[in-house]
């Protein structure tokens, strides 16, 4: 099993792309680049935040790139978990094993949590595997 401990404690930063700070999607980008040598599409012109404008931009960009992601039923390490946190708000994490994810969110540094916990399990929209 891959060890993701070196990613714990990264501060949340809506404009960051490095270990000095990043948002939930860019944490996934960082791990993909470091561990898999894969450069996921980045959206440098989009500040990922909780505004409707930001969410609409991200939705359009994700739809444009949807062919690169396959929805899967059984998550494996490096799959992305998409979690609904509100009517239009989504959060993403990186599956690291059968029950846990690496993620970062506003107000918390990056951490590892169980996605089958009471806090997350009923909010899971799906698991996605990068298939470029």
Q: What is the pLDDT of residue 107?
A: 87
Nearest Cα to Cα of residue 25 among 98, 105, 85, 131: 105
The CATH number for 111's domain is 3.90.1720.10
| Number of domains composing the chain | 1
Spans of the chain below 50 pLDDT: 1
Residue 100 is part of which domain span?
5-130
Nearest Cα to Cα of residue 81 among 129, 27, 9, 43: 129
CA distance 75 to 65: 20
pTM of full prediction above 0.85: no
Average pLDDT taken over every residue of the chain: 84
């Amino acid at each position: 099993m891959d060890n993701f401990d070196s990613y714990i404690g990264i501060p949340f930063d809506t404009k960051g792309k490095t270990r000095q700070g990043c948002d939930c999607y860019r944490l996934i980008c960082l791990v993909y680049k470091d561990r898999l040598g894969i450069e996921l599409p980045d959206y440098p012109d989009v500040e990922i935040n909780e505004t409707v404008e930001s969410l609409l931009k991200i939705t359009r960009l994700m739809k444009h790139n949807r062919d690169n992601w396959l929805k899967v039923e059984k998550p494996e390490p490096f799959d992305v978990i998409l979690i609904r946190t509100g009517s239009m708000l989504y959060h993403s994490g990186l599956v690291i094993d059968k029950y846990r994810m690496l993620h970062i969110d506003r107000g918390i540094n990056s951490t590892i949590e169980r996605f089958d916990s009471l806090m997350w399990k009923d909010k899971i929209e799906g698991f996605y595997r990068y298939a470029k």
